[in-house]
Structure 1
Amino acid sequence: MIFLTRKAEFSSAHYYWIDDWSEEENRRVFGKCANRNGHGHNYTLEVTVAGDVDPVSGFVVDLKQLKDILEREVVSVYDHRHLNLEVPEFRTSIPTTENIAIAIWKRLDGKIPHAKLHRVRVYELPDLFADFYGEEAFGEQA
């Protein structure tokens, strides 16, 4: 088995806010990220798949097909969007780096032929990223 990672990038806006909390509590916990107008990031996505190398092609997965899947399932949905307002999974979930990684996993799981999704890594900043290895890695529901 070998692991192969492909990168993609998207730019999105978001904010952090819990409706059941007061404005003061949201600002205390989330700071600048509680600005309801949002702020943006240039995200980097790394998707790692696992599988066996095809003896004929030498690939674990068709690289163009993987790029097309990332474009269709993630980039075209998240790029130049306000995550809270325009992406369905974040209407009820705060688009933290962690939740974005989980949401991307759910978008990709089972859609990559001939390989198993191993890891989704989302960089919000060069020094801030979240890894998700799927529900099975933790033995619980995400």
Structure 2
Amino acid sequence: MIYIQRKERFSAAHQLYNPSWSEEKNDEVFGKCANRNFHGHNFTLTVTVKGGINPDTGFVMNLTELKHIIREHVTDKLDHKNLNLDVDFLRGKMCSTEVIAMEIWKILEPLIAERGAKLHCVRLDETENNAVEYYGE
């Protein structure tokens, strides 16, 4: 088994806010992230794919093809958007980094499987200090 990775970046705004809670409770739990005017990050998305090496190409998966899949189906839809309001696959969901990573997995997993590889991990860095890894479990 060999693992390959592709990194992509996007900038986006979001808000952490539970509408069933009071404004005070949202402020207590989410702090500045509950800001009514939203806040933004420069995210780094790392997609790890695993599989055997194709003897004809020497690839687990063509990284150029992986780049196009990630951009078309994920980062082009997220970049310079308000994640809470503008992104169809996040609408109505808590836009935490954890939830975003899980939703990205749901999009990428079948597209990568169609190409004979397996999605191993979606890592989403929200800041240089905060990151989430999701393994589809």
Structure 1 residue 75: deviation in Å?
0.8
TM-score by length of 1: 0.92
AA partner of residue 91 (structure 2): R
TM-score by length of 2: 0.95
Which of 117, 120, 125 is equivalent to 1:118? 120
**Deviation string for 1:63-115 (max 9, x for gaps)?**
11100000011111100000001112332211111111101001111101121
Q: Find the residue that maps to 1:37 and give its secondary structure.
A: coil
Match of 1:94 in 2: 94
Range with bigger deviation, 60-69 or 85-94: 85-94
Separation in structure 1 between the aligned mates of residue 45 and residue 62 of structure 2, nearest angstrom:
18
Separation in structure 2 between the aligned mates of residue 35 and residue 80 of structure 1, nearest angstrom:
18
Match of 2:17 in 1: 17
AA partner of residue 27 (structure 1): D
Aligned: 1:38 with 2:51: no
AA partner of residue 62 (structure 2): D
AA partner of residue 131 (structure 2): F
Aligned: 1:131 with 2:133: yes
Structure 1 residue runs without a partner (length 5+): 136-142
Separation in structure 2 between the aligned mates of residue 86 and residue 25 of structure 1, nearest angstrom:
25
Separation in structure 1 between the aligned mates of residue 85 and residue 116 of structure 2, nearest angstrom:
34
**Deviation string for 1:36-65 (max 9, x for gaps)?**
211110000000011101112111101111
**Deviation string for 1:7-64 (max 9, x for gaps)?**
0001000011111101111111110011121111000000001110111211110111
The aligned length equals 135
Residue identity (%)? 50
